[in-house]
Amino acid sequence: MRSLYSAASGMAANQYKLDTISNNMANLNTTGYKTQDVQFKDMLYAQINQRPDVTALTGRVTGDGLAIGHGVLATGVSKAFTQGSLQETGQKLDVAIEGDGFFVIEPNDTAQGLEEMALTRDGSFKISVDEFGDNYLVASNGMAVHDMINDDRIVIGSDIRLDTVSINESGLVTAKDVEGESVELGRIGLVKIGDPNANLQAVGENLYRLVNGFNADQVTEDLTDLPTNERPMIKQGFLEQSNVDMTRQMTDMIVAQRAYSMNVRALQTADQMMGLANNLRG
């Protein structure tokens, strides 16, 4: 009986949807998180041939044969890269992006070129110290923020007064040293990715990587190539909230749960029918 398997596929797909919704809800307060959504497609149809006298009956609307489906398949997960709302934190090292940009993070010391870099929307930066005692700017997971000017991490000298750090909208980090001189520390790596769903892959810890065979036309490393109204902008003292819409997630959860229980009912009905067939004798 196909019905059993169709219902089971419906349960599996809705379970998958519920898993995604749970993940979205769990990340309601994750800085820079982007909502995920699952796509469903129906599975292939079996074409069942019929006797010619049945297909020739008057009043019949469809063509030959019966097309009977086999349930549903979750075909993919996509992310909604819409802007999350900005929350003011007052922290000097908190930055948020307005627009389609991503921060460039160096996942390790040897990363070179954008293909090896990690990208993130999470701008809650901190200062870390390496084994030589140098201070440098890191993302919240401890990986160094890429400096677009020196192609290295952003080192903050020991004579810099941290309360004077200022980050402008293109990511240029400046601060005053102990003598009151203004020092340029570097430029926070910021790139624009057009069509992030096609070109980026989420790898956890709020990070994304460029997919293999990404489209170089959609990646703009030098933002000055873009007209000013299309440039992503950095705002200091703000963090980008996750773009999860709680109401929508709750609604989706109810829909998925109800659909799940309907599939359970279909499964039970199919089971009862098989039970009846089993009891034909005795």
Burial class (CB in 10 A: 0-12, 13-18, 19+), 88: exposed
CA dihedral sign of residues 121, 122, 126, 128: negative
CB of 218 to other proteins, least distance (A): 6
Please tell me whether residue 241 binds other proteins under the rule CB under 8 A: no
Please tell me whether residue 157 binds other proteins under the rule CB under 8 A: no
- For other proteins, how many residues bind (rule: CB under 8 A)? 71
Q: Which stretch binds other proteins (CB under 8 A): 24-32, 156-164, 170-178, 206-214?
A: 206-214
CB of 176 to other proteins, least distance (A): 35
Please tell me whether residue 247 binds other proteins under the rule CB under 8 A: no
Buried-state track 91-130, b at ≥16 Cβ within 10 A, e below 16: ebbbbbbeebbbbbbbbeeebeebeebbbbbbbbbeebee
Task: Locate 74 and state its tokens.
Answer: 């979750």
Interface residue with other proteins, options 22, 41, 115, 178 (CB under 8 A): 41
Interface residue with other proteins, options 21, 72, 117, 239 (CB under 8 A): 72
Interface residue with other proteins, options 52, 133, 204, 213 (CB under 8 A): 213
CB of 61 to other proteins, least distance (A): 5
CA distances from 253 to 20, 132, 230, 278 (A): 10, 51, 36, 37
Burial class (CB in 10 A: 0-12, 13-18, 19+), 141: middle
Please tell me whether residue 85 binds other proteins under the rule CB under 8 A: no
**Which runs of consecutive H residues, i.e. helices, occur in 32-94?**
52-55
Please tell me whether residue 270 binds other proteins under the rule CB under 8 A: yes
How remote is the C-alpha of 239 from its chain's centroid? 17
Q: Which stretch binds other proteins (CB under 8 A): 89-97, 160-168, 182-190, 267-275?
A: 267-275
CB of 224 to other proteins, least distance (A): 16
Binding residues among 95-124 for other proteins as defined by CB under 8 A:
99-100
